[in-house]
């Protein structure tokens, strides 16, 4: 029989993309209002991996990632996704999103994103939300999975997530 124990706290990471960079600071401030102090903010990543969002959000699209200081319970991810969906709706215009917000979390061994879309590799976590295992960390590096989104396979984004992982491990030592 396995011995059950509390799961590790996780580092909250929220990525967002948009085509109008001028609302970026407002989005960051709203995320901070919802989730607390910010630890790290990425530079801009060009988001040109897919045309899936082009009809709704136009192009080009640009991504930023916001990392929060407070560690979260992994079970909070569904509620966080609901909150970010609410922010997307608040900022919509003409029934089209102006920003797409993707919350997730970092653990030492994996990076997980929340989604409302079911698929074979996604695990239901409640409240109409699924967890997508996006990257795994093994042999001192992140490994992609067959379903890892293209933009999460870019060297620039993986390098940023590696910095976040190192910071997360330091944060764990403080608790």
Q: What is the pLDDT of residue 48?
A: 64
Which range (27-31, 56-60, 76-80) has the least confidence?
56-60
pLDDT for 66-76, tens place per residue? 999 999 999 99
Q: At what angle do helices 24-35 and 77-90 cross, to 10 degrees?
A: 140
Distance of CA 25 to the CA centre of its chain: 17
pTM for the full predicted model: 0.95
Q: What is the pLDDT of residue 114?
A: 98
Tokens 């030492």 -> residue? 108
Structure tokens that stand for 53 in this block:
């969002």
Tokens 């295992």 -> residue? 133
Q: Where are the domains of the chain?
A: 10-173
Of the pLDDT bands very low, low, confident and very high (cuts 50, 70, 90), residue 49 is low
Of the pLDDT bands very low, low, confident and very high (cuts 50, 70, 90), residue 55 is confident
Nearest to 77 by CA among 14, 138, 134: 14
């Amino acid at each position: 029989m396995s011995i059950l124990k509390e799961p590790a706290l996780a580092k909250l990471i929220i990525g967002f993309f948009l085509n109008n960079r001028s609302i970026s600071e407002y989005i960051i401030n709203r995320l901070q209002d919802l989730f607390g102090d910010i630890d790290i903010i990425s530079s801009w990543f060009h988001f040109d991996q897919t045309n899936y969002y082009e009809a709704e959000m136009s192009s080009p699209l640009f991504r930023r990632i916001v990392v929060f200081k407070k560690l979260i319970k992994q079970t909070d991810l569904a509620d966080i996704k609901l909150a970010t969906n609410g922010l997307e709706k608040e900022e919509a215009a003409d029934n089209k999103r102006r920003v797409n917000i993707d919350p997730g979390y970092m653990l030492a061994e994996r990076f997980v994103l929340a989604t409302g879309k079911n698929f074979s590799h996604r695990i239901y976590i409640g409240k109409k939300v699924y967890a997508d295992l996006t990257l795994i960390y093994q042999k001192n590096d992140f490994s992609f999975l067959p379903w890892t989104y293209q933009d999460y396979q870019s060297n620039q984004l993986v390098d940023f997530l590696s910095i976040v992982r190192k910071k997360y491990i330091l944060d764990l030592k403080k608790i």
